Amino acid sequence: MDCSTNTFMLTGRIPAVRSAQITTCVAGASHRVKLGTSDLHVSECCLGTMTWGVQNTEQEAHEQLSYAIDQGINFIDTAEMYPIPPSKETQGRTDRYIASWLKNQKREDLILATKVAGHGNKYLREGKETRVTPSQIEQSVEDSLKRLGTDHIDLLQVHWPDRYVSLFGGAAYDPANERDDIPFDRQLRGMAAVVKSGKVRYIGVSNETSYGVMRWIQASEQLGRPRIVSIQNSYSLLVRVPFDTDLAETCAPRQCNVGLLAYSPLAGGALSGKYMSGTAPEGARLTRFPGYMERYNKSQARTATGEYMKVAEKHGISAVELALAWCKQRWQVASTIIGATSMTQLKENIGAFDIKLSEECLADVEEVYKRFRDPTIR
């Protein structure tokens, strides 16, 4: 049975092969993978939700959820601080939109991931600075469960480290910025407590480093507590460091076996080409969250994006399809988190998982990467 036939049987759609350089993949977005050392079998495409409540209405969120589930996706990712950009007024809307949809679904068929905030948020804990302490982890889980209308979370992730880490394309690590932080063993005790209570099944990290992953694993081995099974980090054609180097080794199945959940695979939409003029479209994420997104709009990032767009055109696919199909084919990636503000975007994003890039196409991508290794570093 050929690859296209398998895709039709699994999705009910006959995928078109648009280029001699492209073939359709066996299972597409619905294909399941085992996440790290857990028994969670997640779809290779995960539905991200961070725009729901600012850029998307509740009805639009429900439409996206229903469509994604119909396409075989079983993995949904949220966070206690969503939607983004964060604010006291909107915090928690995303979860409430999921909850109202979840009432009419089979909860056991879905894998629901959320995140507890790292160091520094000012409005989640009634004006108290967020820290990854056992008491705050417990409060975060209780509040998330209430908003989501469920009795358990399948994957609880630390949204960003409690300690100082250079994040989001920031400058090189500077010891002068180090601060007091919650010890790893204490953080793990808090995570272990919510697992033991049955409110959380598995734990993971996000925006983490190799050092952090190793310390989490070390703490779990020393204390006999649950291991992290996933790491949610930015990963795309524009952002491959540090995951392609030391983090890839650290998280590899033979080593710590921590599955990568790749977020921002389209670099905040930049890899679609919509920022190529240098001016963001009205309502785009770059204009709503400039401090975080500006790194994708730098001249070097735009130049690299233009080169990847040429690769996509050469091989008969869209820039979005190239970026997402590439991410899916990376051995480092367990599941790719997509997000959309319209159904047109969502359908294109999910459809990209039916594409398998040829060796020639992948070689062309690598040629661009050799010239633009870190185009988003600030």
Q: Which residues are catalytic?
A: 82
Opening angle at CA 331, ends 5 and 255, nearest 5: 140
Output the CA torsion sign for 128, 131, 135, 138. Answer: positive
Opening angle at CA 95, ends 94 and 96, nearest 5: 90
Output the CA torsion sign for 297, 299, 305, 310. Answer: positive
- 15 to 22, 55, 352: CA distances (angstroms): 11, 30, 10
Q: Are 138 and 190 in contact (CB under 8 A)?
A: yes
The phi, psi pair for 130, rounded to 5°, reads: -75, 135
Q: Are 55 and 26 in contact (CB under 8 A)?
A: no
Amino acid at 146: K
Q: Are 91 and 140 in contact (CB under 8 A)?
A: no
